[in-house]
């Protein structure tokens, strides 16, 4: 190694069109602008087939993005895995499906599906839910209920009714023979159930009280709930409050002790906490009331090492030969840093869905606790603290490879509040400036990239109407090499995120595994 390497991941920062919806371009980012003007750089594909998703219509996300960045290879990921399992029928042969189906056939028992209702293909896909519903009906299940989390984040911000209408059509069809297939409860994904990294257990508790205890405002239908909340509060789908669907003055269905429950999300980060609430006998994050247990399964196992959950329908990809494994084999000291919102991405997902470290003696992980506050209200997030810790780690001279993630472009980008996203990008640029200075002072090669786009496309126009966009973009992301002391030339090629790890290894002078993609230098 001629120099140690520091990698900066600007989460959610792609190359936009430079127009009025491109917060990256609208922000004052003199450091990023200078690096792009003066340094070797290229643009990486960060969505679709480049990160293991089914088609190039599928937007990338932080999980598959960090998998690809950290392993140098392209693996079939959540949506594709589940789709293949459903198409082949293997999912229905799984032990978990058969046990939950059999349990729900018993008198008085029900099968409940819980998850994000959209076709965003980031956390879930409504087509998977519909396929499972049809299979449940084919197997003779009579009482089946859906607890729906509204998206507006990976899909258009106010598209919930499209998915509700689609689901209601299927449920009505399956209920024609006297079976009871209904939507039972729901709410916006940023209000209930789908917290991650234990940042806000109150969200999960609110979801629990909604789905399990039926404690939320009651409506005659999900459609009525959505329309009423929009009229009263003016909020987008992800922020809609919890609701319960009732008939005859009572909830259509509550998740009762002994029932079967399937969490049909395939992505792990926002599935783990609610899984723990259902899955663990010992649980102290909130009061579950008179809960004694259900038959529970996830679409995938969201954390294999921690067995979250114990039962699952589809086997996750086994990612081998990660960058961390390669560097540990060469005794390279590593440092990984982010705040809570993206800490799991630079550790668990980076290391191929592995909890814990490859080598305790060679790796240091550092998490800065995120504030529990709407991101648009504090768009700087923990960018200053991340920069402080990163500079301190660089100054120590201890590490041969460092990586950090600034979550701002993604987390603030998801709010749809343009002014806040512009501020967020300016905060990231301020951190980047200090890291460039640290690289000069302490002798590092600095690499700058992203895991997917978001802040670069904050509006979208359909049928002549422009609206706020809160989803990830399909735009490419930068890969920049900053090192005034060494000349690196990026070869011509069509590169994706999986080409980053091979490039790092080559810059360090090590041999890459044969299964990896090619280096860019």
Q: Where in the sequence numbering do the catalytic residues fall?
A: 62
Distance in angstroms (rounded) separating the CA atoms of residues 71 and 11: 18
**Which single residue is written with the structure tokens 């940023």?**
190
DSSP 426: H
- Angle, alpha carbons 18-427-203 (nearest 5°): 100
368 DSSP β-pair partners: 339
Residue 2 CA to chain centroid, in angstroms? 35
Q: What is the DSSP string of 6-44?
A: EEEEETT-----SSTT-HHHHS--HHHHHHHHHS-EEEE
Residues in the chain: 521
Put residue 289 in one of left, alpha, beta given phi > 0 → left and psi -120 to 50 → alpha.
left
| 422, 20 Cβ separation under 8 angstroms | no
| 379, 421 Cβ separation under 8 angstroms | yes
| b/e per residue 48-84 (b: at least 16 CB within 10 A) | bebbbbbeeebbbbbbbbbbbbbbbbbbebbbbbbbe
Task: Copy the structure tokens of residue 465.
Answer: 């109407």
> What's the N-to-C CA distance of the chain in angstroms?
15
């Amino acid at each position: 190694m001629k120099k140690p390497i520091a990698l900066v991941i600007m989460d959610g920062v792609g190359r936009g069109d430079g127009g009025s919806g491109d917060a990256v371009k609208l922000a004052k980012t003199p450091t990023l602008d200078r690096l792009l003007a003066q340094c070797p750089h290229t643009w990486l594909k960060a969505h679709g087939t480049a990160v293991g998703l089914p088609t190039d219509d599928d937007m990338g996300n932080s999980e598959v993005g960090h998998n690809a960045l950290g392993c140098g290879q392209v693996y079939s990921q959540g949506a594709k895995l589940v789709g293949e399992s459903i198409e082949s029928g293997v999912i229905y042969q799984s032990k978990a499906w058969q046990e939950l189906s059999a349990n729900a056939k018993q008198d008085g028992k029900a099968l409940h599906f819980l998850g994000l209702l959209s076709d965003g293909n980031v956390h879930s896909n409504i087509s998977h839910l519909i396929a499972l519903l049809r299979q449940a009906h084919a197997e003779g299940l009579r009482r089946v209920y859906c607890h729906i989390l509204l998206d507006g984040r990976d899909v258009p911000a106010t598209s919930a009714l499209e998915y509700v209408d689609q689901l209601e059509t299927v449920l009505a069809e399956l209920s024609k023979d006297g079976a009871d297939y209904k939507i039972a409860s729901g709410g916006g994904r940023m209000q209930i159930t789908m917290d991650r990294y234990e940042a806000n257990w109150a969200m999960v508790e609110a979801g629990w009280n909604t789905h399990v205890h039926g404690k939320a405002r009651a409506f005659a239908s999900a459609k009525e709930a959505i329309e009423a909340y929009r009229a009263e509060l003016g909020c987008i789908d992800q922020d809609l409050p919890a609701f319960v669907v009732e008939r005859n003055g009572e909830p259509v269905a509550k998740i009762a002790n002994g029932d079967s429950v399937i969490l049909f999300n395939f992505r792990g980060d926002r599935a783990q906490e609610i899984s723990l609430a259902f899955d663990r006998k010992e649980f102290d994050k909130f009061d579950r009331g008179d809960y004694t247990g259900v038959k529970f399964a996830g679409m995938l196992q969201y954390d294999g090492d921690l067995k979250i959950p114990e039962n699952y329908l589809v086997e996750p990809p086994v990612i081998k030969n990660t960058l961390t494994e390669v560097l540990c084999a060469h005794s390279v000291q590593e440092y990984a840093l982010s705040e809570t919102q993206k800490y799991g991405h630079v550790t668990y997902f980076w290391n191929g869905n592995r909890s814990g470290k490859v080598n305790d003696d060679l790796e240091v992980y550092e998490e800065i606790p995120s504030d529990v506050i709407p991101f648009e209200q504090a768009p700087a997030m923990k960018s200053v603290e991340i920069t402080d810790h990163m500079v301190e780690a660089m100054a120590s001279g201890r590490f041969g490879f460092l990586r950090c993630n600034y979550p701002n472009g993604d987390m603030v980008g998801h709010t749809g509040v343009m002014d806040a996203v512009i501020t967020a990008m300016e905060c990231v640029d301020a951190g980047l400036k200090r890291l460039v200075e640290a690289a000069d002072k302490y002798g590092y090669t600095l690499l700058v990239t992203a895991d997917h786009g978001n802040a670069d496309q904050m509006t979208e126009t359909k049928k002549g109407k422009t609206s706020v966009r809160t989803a990830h973009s399909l735009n490419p992301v930068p890969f920049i090499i900053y090192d005034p002391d060494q000349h690196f030339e990026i070869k011509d090629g069509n590169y994706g995120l999986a080409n980053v790890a091979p490039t790092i290894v080559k810059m360090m002078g090590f041999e890459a595994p044969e299964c990896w993609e090619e280096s860019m230098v």
